[in-house]
Amino acid sequence: MQHPRATSLRTSPPPASAGQPLLASARPSRTALLCGIARARHQLLDGGEIFPDPLALDILGPVLAARLRAGLDGKGREDRGKDAGSFSQAMRGALVVRSRIAEDTLRDAVAAGATQYVLLGAGLDTFALRNQWPAGLQRVFEVDHPATQAWKQGLASQAGLAMPPGGTFVPVDFERQDFMAQLAAHGFDPAARTVFAWLGVTMYLAPAAVEATLQRIGTQAAPGSVLVFDYVRQPAPLQWGRKLALGLMARRFRRMGEPWRCFLGDEALQAMLTRHGFDAAEFITPERIRQTLLAHRPSTRRQRILSGLLGGVVRVRVPAGAGSAALAPQAAASAP
């Protein structure tokens, strides 16, 4: 599909003031741009073998998309050779794998009766714009910081992309607003089974905001709803190598003005999920991912180091008899 090209739009978000938390700032997310670039490079360097996304380049804007394409012209084989086994390849693989798991989960859940999809911290995700919704999916809600969302809408407009019927942008500051209330104000049905994808967000939030998000989904989403999310693993006290690697990565994001603020141990995370009423969680560990979705690639040292920091992807369900029943008194009180 060909889209009109223009050069008037700023593609890259402006810098933030030092130390300013991501979701309290008035600027688009730079890490959302980096994730978008990773998805686009996956299409160019890897042929989209794990996560095909036909709009990954278009959503970056014409200038950046052209720059990425031009960077491979005439030296694609050379770049692929340099890329093999690199940290960039390992990080790119981790990013596209989580998107693949979320969309696989969505398709399975819709086949089982889910009708809504909520992307918490949607960034430059293109699912809603691709017009390839599984049959039965009625609504898609993109929840994100207002500045990031406005920036994305501008990029989509420049690419000739429009949100299809049933798709809705929901601007929310996670640390200042109740995202479930904002969703309801934009047409979300708390009684309908829903898939929530919360990718690349928890590490940038204050721990209290992470717990509050889990609490709201666990108590307010419909029974049978599914949450898919990722997290940064808290190293054990004697894991000095992982502590060092985590510190280096955290420093990189802090310098970008988007510091990592939440690190979770596996047991503490499981206890938190149980506390908020979820069924037993499925931890899709980096080891399991390497043996399945990444089995065709040799396991590199950089990939193993990154796996030790990232906790993988968690998939968890709101059990029967829980969830949106908690909203019933509120709904009754607000009825005319």
Q: Please state, as a whole number, how many other Cβ atoms lie within 10 Å of the Cβ of residue 213.
A: 22
Q: Is residue 277 in a domain?
A: yes
Domain membership flag for residue 68: yes
Strand 116-120, strand 139-144: pairing: parallel
Distance CA 54, CA 74 (A): 22
Confidence (pLDDT) at 199: 96
pLDDT of residue 230: 94
Q: Could you write out the DSSP letters of every residue in 174-205?
A: TTTS-HHHHHHHTT--TTS-EEEEE-S-GGGS
How far is residue 119's CA from residue 125's CA, in Å, rounded to a whole number?
A: 9
Give me the half-sphere count of Cα atoms (radius 13 Å) on the Cβ side of residue 205: 24
CATH number (domain holding residue 73): 3.40.50.150
Answer yes or no: is 12 within a domain. no
pLDDT value of position 15: 40
Q: How many domains does the chain have?
A: 1
* pLDDT for the residue numbered 16: 38
Chain-centroid distance of CA 210 in Å reads 14
Would you say the pTM of this structure is higher than 0.75? yes
Q: pLDDT 10s per residue in the chain (336 long)?
A: 333 333 233 344 444 333 333 344 556 788 899 999 999 999 999 899 999 999 999 999 999 999 998 877 655 555 666 776 676 777 888 899 999 999 999 999 999 999 999 999 999 999 999 988 999 999 999 999 999 999 999 999 999 999 999 999 999 987 788 999 999 999 999 999 999 999 999 988 888 989 999 999 999 999 999 999 999 887 667 666 676 767 767 677 777 777 778 888 888 999 999 999 999 999 998 888 888 887 776 666 666 655 555 668 999 999 987 655 444 444 433 333
Q: Is residue 1 part of a domain?
A: no
**DSSP 8-state class, residue 201:** -
In a domain, 13, yes or no: no
Compute φ and ψ for 255, nearest 5 degrees. Answer: -65, -25
Domain that includes residue 166, residue range: 27-334
139, part of any domain: yes
Both tokens of 157, joined, read 């407009």
> Is 217 among the domain residues?
yes
Tell me whether strands 226-232 and 310-317 are parallel, antiparallel or unpaired: antiparallel
> So what's the pLDDT on residue 88?
75
Give the C-alpha distances (Å, rounded to integers) separating 123 from 75, 79, 150. 30, 27, 11
Residues in the chain: 336
Residue 120 parent element (H or E): strand 116-120
3 within some domain: no
